[in-house]
Structure 1
Amino acid sequence: MSAEDYVDGFDKILWLDFSGKQDQQIMRIIVDCCLQEKTFNMYYMVLASKICNHDKNHKLILAPGSIQGVRYNGVEMLNRSMNLAKLAAEMLVNFSLSLATLKVVNLANPVEMTPKRIMHFQMLFETLMQTDDALVWNVFTRIAGIPELEILRDGIVLFIKQHVIAKDTGKELPGRFKIAKKALDNAAGVLM
């Protein structure tokens, strides 16, 4: 947090020379710092992306199943959930993460999808789908055509229909949803 910029922050983290389980704490600390902010701070996304690009094992720490231990309390719950959703969406948009990390979450299971989780994933998909058409296409097409991700693709479509599009009164998100749905069916994996 005392770094001048993300390069300085990245250098300081590398200088610590953590190993094993200590190394896994780096990403958790970055996420926790991001969640402490009153509004989303892009610095943490840039730093997390740099670390993920340096060592791919850090992507696993950002998977939803790995960060579910984050606790929300009262009023700050909304800010923390929003910051986490925006961090994940930005990581998806810059391809530091893939939607495949969501395979540990059953978006179509009403028991698993508590109101807090629904709110969190609504914010994630709304943020993701507010980017331009080409980014929406490319993010969603990355999980197209992979047989073991069929349940995830179906869950994403169902979740977005029920919890994102159903509450949206504008035309922007439904249009982006059509692009996302076509991208999920893009078995050839052609990017825009």
Structure 2
Amino acid sequence: DCDDAVEKLHKLNLSKVQEREIIHVTVHCCLHEKTYNPYYTLILQRFCGYDRRFQISLQYHTWDRFKDLSLLNKQQLVNFSSALSQLLISKSLTINIFKNFNFIELTSSARTFLVELFVKLFNEIDDVSLKNIFQFSSTQNYKFVKDALRLFLSHFILKKSNHSELVHRRCQIAFDQLSIE
């Protein structure tokens, strides 16, 4: 089980570099499953909850993955978006993760990834938790990220009729939360 795997990895007394590799290997395994397997996301959540350095490592690894979205096939994009959705829900990562996302040169793969991620997120979370996820730290200026997310949500989810009423309603909640200064 997940807790057993994490405990065994902790007992290996790995170096800092080797510990970072746990994150890389876990994400790699997650992406290469034929269908999304939440087991890998649970492992990432446990490590992030264990020590902040794993959370930082996952954050940097996610930023690296953002740059390479066009190299992922459709199933890998689905797996990555599913994992990131769960990591946001569990608060292992925050919405601030998108500060290093290239919204200006939005590729087809990036668009697919984001739509998959947000539709999954909006389907799986309650309204209060959703508001908390889309609440940015007031101590830092995230205006560009908030504007980019609002534009994306408006253009690719709110204006599309192929999403459920629940997805549209929750997308509007996220949009409104992002509009708060």
Shorter chain as denominator, the TM-score bin is 0.7 to 0.9
1:162 paired residue number: 155
Query: 1:69: how far off?
Result: 6.7
Q: Could you state the TM-score of these two structures normalised by the residue count of structure 1? A: 0.83
* Matching residue within 64, 84, 91 for 1:66: 64
Query: 1:100: how far off?
Result: 0.5
- Separation (CA, whole Å) in 2 of partners of 1:39 and 1:168: 26
Query: 1:67: how far off?
Result: 2.6
1:34 paired residue number: 30
What amino acid does structure 2 have at the position aligned with 1:183? Q
Cα pair 2:69 2:109 within 8 Å, conserved = no
Q: What secondary structure is seen at the aligned counterpart in 1 of 2:73?
A: helix
Q: Which runs of 5+ in 2 are unaligned?
A: none
1:184 paired residue number: 178
| Post-superposition CA distance 1:90-145 (Å, at most 9, x none) | 000111110101100132x1x2x11111111111111111122122112112x153
Q: How does 1:101-116 map to 2 (within 5 A)?
A: 101-107=97-103, 109=104, 111=105, 113-116=106-109
Alignment pair present for 1:175 and 2:173? no
Q: What secondary structure is seen at the aligned counterpart in 2 of 1:38?
A: coil
Cα pair 1:31 1:44 within 8 Å, conserved = yes
| Post-superposition CA distance 1:122-172 (Å, at most 9, x none) | 11111111122122112112x153441111111111111112223343322
- Separation (CA, whole Å) in 1 of partners of 2:141 and 2:180: 15
What amino acid does structure 2 have at the position aligned with 1:149? Y
* Matching residue within 11, 16, 20 for 1:15: 11
Q: What secondary structure is seen at the aligned counterpart in 2 of 1:65?
A: helix
- How many residues were matched structurally? 177
Q: Which runs of 5+ in 1 are unaligned?
A: 188-192
- Separation (CA, whole Å) in 2 of partners of 1:68 and 1:147: 22
Cα pair 1:28 1:67 within 8 Å, conserved = no
Query: 1:71: how far off?
Result: 7.3
- Separation (CA, whole Å) in 1 of partners of 2:101 and 2:56: 14
Alignment pair present for 1:128 and 2:121? yes
Alignment pair present for 1:139 and 2:133? yes
What amino acid does structure 2 have at the position aligned with 1:140? F
- Separation (CA, whole Å) in 1 of partners of 2:81 and 2:69: 14
Q: Please give the root-mean-square deviation of Cα atoms over the aligned residues, in Å.
A: 2.1
- Separation (CA, whole Å) in 2 of partners of 1:183 and 1:22: 39
Structure (1/2) with the larger helix percentage: 2
Cα pair 2:153 2:175 within 8 Å, conserved = no
Cα pair 1:137 1:179 within 8 Å, conserved = yes
Q: Could you state the TM-score of these two structures normalised by the residue count of structure 2? A: 0.87
